[in-house]
Amino acid sequence: MSIQTVATRPFAGQRPGTSGLRKKVTEFQQPGYLENFVEAIFLTIGGGAGRTLVVGGDGRYFNREAVQTILRMAAAHGVERVLVGRGGILSTPAASCVIRKHAAHGGILLSASHNPGGPDGDFGIKYNIENGGPAPEKITEAIFAHTQALTSYRISDAPALDIDVLGTSRIENTVVEVIDPVADYAALMGRLFDFEAIRALFAGGFTMRFDAMHAVSGPYAKTIIEDMLGAPAGTVINGEPREDFGGHHPDPNPVNAAELIALMNGPGAPDFGAASDGDGDRNMIVGRGIAVTPSDSLAIIAANATLAPGYAGGIKGIARSMPTSTAADRVAEALGISCFETPTGWKYFGNLMDANLVTLCGEESYGTGSHHIREKDGLWAVLFWLNLLAATRKPVAQIVGEHWARFGRNYYSRHDYEAVDAAAADGMMTALRERLPELAGRTLDGHQVAEADDFEYNDPVDGSVSTRQGIRIIMRDGSRIVFRLSGTGTEGATIRLYLERYEPDPARHDLDTQEALASLAAVADDISGLRERTGRDRPTVVT
Ligand code: G16
């Protein structure tokens, strides 16, 4: 074994997006591409001497090769100890949990989350810091700057390590410990939720279907829901992680998890349905005949937080990403706690949680979580709902209906226009930005515009400023139209249009969501010229 210095050259496009670097697998397979990014991480954090690092991923195609490369590079950079999930597996929330529990300096996470996998799919890598959360922008920018100036990287020429067996071995002077990917995480969940009450719920015949979508949450869900909570075998479906996610899009929304939705809407539906994504940080909550929107789920969790033992003392505050509906704001107001509005991306919640300003965080993109770790956490949200169902013994639809009756309903939908021409998308956003000053005060199809701006976030903890985080058109009646470009797509541009309408009157809480939002959708198209500029006459995905 010896440490090699290998000559390299910079690759274009290695700037991390909303959540790390995500590219096609084929791009990552170019010699030096992954190595350059990893070298840049080590240069940014100042090497590995005396440090513990966590490494793992969602098991998608190229995960195993990438883990081996990172282990050999960690050894070349003098890392003292690496904790790696068995088989190279760690869900994103479990990685965050392991970093915190073992006081690691940080972690390298391999995932392109909900993006499709396989040889023609996507791969991704991101660095998480010692609080267990995604690196903030100043670190990701430093990593990017290093990628652009590299002339070489360092790597050990050690042979591949067996990462399928628990135990400790060495590469150069680095200790590599293969750990059970589920154990630490499952123990943490057991401390937050009333497992006894949930066990009693299942023992009483409560039925559930958890669709792991052939992604990483399968082993976690089987251990916790079936083995520890006593749900019958078969409650977790598609529970074996596969390198290509069984050819599916591992994104838990009603479109991609259509089978689960059909089951929950059909005769003989189980009491409760849920799904998680590629790396286990997203969740979808479904009751009989009702898919709960992520924005409502956050608000309902907040309103009922004290039912779970881990939150029995109450919550400090709530944070939501800007495009997420304002349903949680109403709960925060009722509880007399603060509600923060941040840009899209879980990384913006880290400072607020570290400063103990918020307990719960959520995003419209099927992400919910709390200060127990620093990533969103799919299974955590599902366990929260199970705890809520066990404590109240009410069906999901009743819990949601009662919440709306108390706080009002925020009709909400996201329209995605995927893989559109990047120049057309940029052109649309630029033109809309220029129109913002003249929109304020105007009445558009009966909605009076109260505010129209390009969202800017001033972090109250470290004072950093993030500009151009999405265009908001806020109406006097509480309705909102939001436009932003996705930061996670890998093909052309994806335009996201978020629509929200607030309805306080319970007599009007059973409208069809798209019908309730039709007038706002028409206004959105009118002011942006979206259809004309992109040549699309309808969204690719509506959730
Ligand atoms: C990532 C981030 C999320 C964010 C989402 C938005 O999700 O971790 O915090 O809400 O991207 O994606 P976009 O920029 O495409 O709207 P994930 O689950 O892909 O890591």
Is 113 one of the annotated active-site residues of the chain?
yes
How many C-beta neighbours within 10 Å does residue 34 have? 24
Whether 122 has a pLDDT exceeding 90, the answer reads yes
Asked if 78 and 47 touch (Cβ cutoff 8 Å), the reply is yes
Percentage of the chain lying above the pLDDT 70 cut: 100
Domain count, the chain: 3
Whole-prediction pTM:
0.95
Q: Quick one: pLDDT at residue 279? A: 94
* DSSP H stretches of helix in 225-304: 258-265, 294-303
Q: Which atom of ligand 1 is nearest to the CA of 113?
A: 19
Q: Which of 181, 212, 236 is the last residue of a domain?
A: 181
Q: What is the pLDDT of residues 34-53, one digit of tens each?
A: 999 999 999 999 999 999 99
Residues 60 and 176 in one domain: yes
Catalytic residue among 19, 113, 156, 479: 113
Ligand 1 centroid to Cα of residue 18, in Å, is: 6
Residues 458 and 516 in one domain: yes
Q: How far apart are the first and last CA of the chain?
A: 52
Residues 162 and 266 in one domain: no
Q: Which of 385, 407, 429 is the last residue of a domain?
A: 407
Q: What is the pLDDT of residues 39-97, one digit of tens each?
A: 999 999 999 999 999 999 999 999 999 999 999 999 999 999 999 999 999 999 999 99
Average pLDDT over residues 438-462: 95
Ligand 1 contacts CB of residue 479 (under 6 A)? no
- The residues, any chain, with a CB within 8 Å of residue 494's CB and separated by 6 or more, are 416, 417, 418, 419, 420, 425, 485, 486
Average pLDDT over residues 126-130: 97
Average of per-residue pLDDT values in the chain? 96
Ligand 1 contacts CB of residue 14 (under 6 A)? no
Residues 161 and 31 in one domain: yes
Helix (H, G, I), strand (E, B) or coil at 454: strand
Strand (E) or helix (H) holding 107: strand 106-110
Confidence of residue 375 (pLDDT cuts 50, 70, 90): very high
Ligand 1 centroid to Cα of residue 19, in Å, is: 6
Whether 17 has a pLDDT exceeding 90, the answer reads no
| Ligand 1 atom 3 nearest Cα | 345
Exposure of 340 by Cβ count < 10 A (0-12 exposed, 13-18 middle, 19+ buried)? Answer: buried
Confidence of residue 251 (pLDDT cuts 50, 70, 90): confident
CATH of the domain at 448: 3.30.310.50
Whether 389 has a pLDDT exceeding 90, the answer reads yes
Q: What is the pLDDT of residues 508-521, one digit of tens each?
A: 999 999 999 999 99
Confidence of residue 256 (pLDDT cuts 50, 70, 90): confident
Average pLDDT over residues 486-497: 88
3-state helix, strand, coil in the chain (%, to 5): 35, 25, 35
Whether 490 has a pLDDT exceeding 80, the answer reads no
Residues 40 and 128 in one domain: yes
Residues 331 and 205 in one domain: yes
Residues 198 and 296 in one domain: yes
Residues 70 and 206 in one domain: no
Residues 435 and 403 in one domain: no
Average pLDDT over residues 406-427: 97
Q: What are the tokens at 109?
A: 């996470």
Ligand 1 centroid to Cα of residue 13, in Å, is: 19
Q: Which of 351, 372, 407 is the last residue of a domain?
A: 407
Report which residue type is found at 496: R
Ligand 1 contacts CB of residue 246 (under 6 A)? no
Q: Quick one: pLDDT at residue 489? A: 75
Confidence of residue 249 (pLDDT cuts 50, 70, 90): confident
Residue 297 domain boundaries: 185-407
In angstroms, the CA 58 to CA 35 distance is 19
Residues 150 and 286 in one domain: no
Ligand 1 contacts CB of residue 410 (under 6 A)? no
Residues 350 and 206 in one domain: yes
Ligand 1 centroid to Cα of residue 405, in Å, is: 31
Residues 387 and 454 in one domain: no
Which residue of 488, 491, 497 sits with most ligand 1 atoms within 8 Å of its CB, as the best mutation to test the pocket? 488
CATH of the domain at 300: 3.40.120.10
Ligand 1 centroid to Cα of residue 397, in Å, is: 27
Average pLDDT over residues 276-292: 95
Ligand 1 contacts CB of residue 367 (under 6 A)? yes
